[in-house]
């Protein structure tokens, strides 16, 4: 439970707390109290869409009830001396670590250049074949017996090997492996519904996760798409969000690599494996070594 934020679904207009003293007590339970300033900080980052609800009397009553719950539970926890427990201290340290990490990332991300409409438009123009509402798709397939064989296929794909070459080497479908797994063009309604749902959700060049069909695993790749182009304005918001997420992910990976070089990193592989064995298998590490 996130005790300090368990009423996160609530927000409120600051007009409700329009008193002049910033440290004025809003809720008190025993020796525990919540001040106006603390509550304002708690509510600062909440979503605006719930403000309308809390503008009503029902909303204010709901907030008041949640605040009372928080303070009486906090008071009871203090009475039981839970703050002195080692578990509490461990959780506080973990919370501090996570909070500091989040603050660092928030700070660094502010310096990251924003994705502009021009960025999205340029990407759209260079990758128009990705933005087509498919009417027909051309598929290639690789058929394997089990997950172990599927893993080999994906390992080769991840290394950048040609799908057709992999199909020729590893596919168990004798009819299509010699032609790189190609099974031709299909319109909606011509495929098994399970295959169709996957095929028409993929973009050109994308590879599916394995589908279990008749006791075998099928891996599909969309090699061509025929359809109607999607207008830029229609997908602009989603495309900008995708590019933003991609930019942040690329930055994060680069940032982590920089930090690895900056700080000396050491991993005790033996200790790590012992802990994992104990946690996942059970028993003491020394027992598992026998």
Burial of 225 (0-12, 13-18, 19+ CB in 10 A): buried
Residue 3 has pLDDT above 50, yes or no: no
Distance of alpha carbon 49 from alpha carbon 54, whole angstroms: 10
Residue 14 pLDDT grade (very low, low, confident, very high; cuts 50, 70, 90): very low
Phi, psi of 166 (to 5 degrees): -65, -40
Percent of the chain with pLDDT over 70: 88
Q: What is the pLDDT of residue 67?
A: 85
Average pLDDT over residues 31-52: 77
Q: Which domains does the chain have, with CATH numbers?
A: 3-80 (no CATH), 132-229 (3.10.50.40)
Alpha-helical (H) ranges within the chain are 36-43, 51-54, 57-79, 86-109, 117-126, 147-158, 163-170, 193-199, 232-262, 269-281, 285-288
pTM over 0.95: no
Q: What is the pLDDT of residue 98?
A: 95
Q: CA gyration radius for the chain? A: 28
């Amino acid at each position: 439970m996130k005790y300090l934020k368990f009423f996160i679904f609530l927000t409120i207009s600051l007009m409700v707390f329009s008193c002049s003293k910033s440290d004025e007590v809003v809720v008190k339970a025993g020796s525990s109290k919540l001040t106006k300033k603390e509550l304002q900080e708690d509510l600062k980052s909440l979503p605006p869409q719930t403000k309308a609800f809390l503008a009503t009397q029902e909303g204010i009553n709901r907030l008041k009830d949640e605040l009372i719950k928080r303070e009486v539970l906090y008071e009871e926890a203090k009475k039981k001396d839970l703050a002195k427990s080692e578990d509490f201290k461990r959780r506080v340290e973990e919370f501090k670590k996570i909070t500091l990490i989040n603050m660092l990332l928030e700070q660094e991300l502010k310096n990251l250049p924003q994705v502009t409409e021009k960025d999205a438009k340029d990407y759209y123009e260079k990758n128009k074949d990705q933005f087509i509402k498919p009417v027909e798709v051309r598929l290639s397939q690789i058929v394997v017996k089990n997950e172990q064989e599927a893993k080999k296929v994906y390992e080769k794909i991840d290394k950048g090997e040609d799908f057709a070459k992999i199909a020729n080497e590893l596919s168990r479908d004798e009819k299509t492996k010699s032609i790189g797994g190609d099974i031709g063009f299909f319109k909606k309604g011509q495929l098994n519904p399970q295959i169709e749902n996957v095929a028409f959700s993929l973009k050109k060049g994308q590879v599916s996760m394995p589908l279990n069909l008749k006791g075998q695993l099928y891996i599909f790749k969309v090699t061509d798409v025929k359809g109607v182009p999607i207008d830029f304005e229609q997908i602009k918001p989603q495309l900008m969000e995708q590019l933003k997420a991609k930019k942040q992910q690329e930055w994060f990976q680069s940032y982590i690599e920089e930090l690895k070089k900056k700080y000396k990193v050491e991993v005790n592989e033996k200790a790590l494996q012992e802990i994992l064995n104990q946690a996942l298998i059970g028993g003491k590490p020394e027992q598992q070594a026998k």
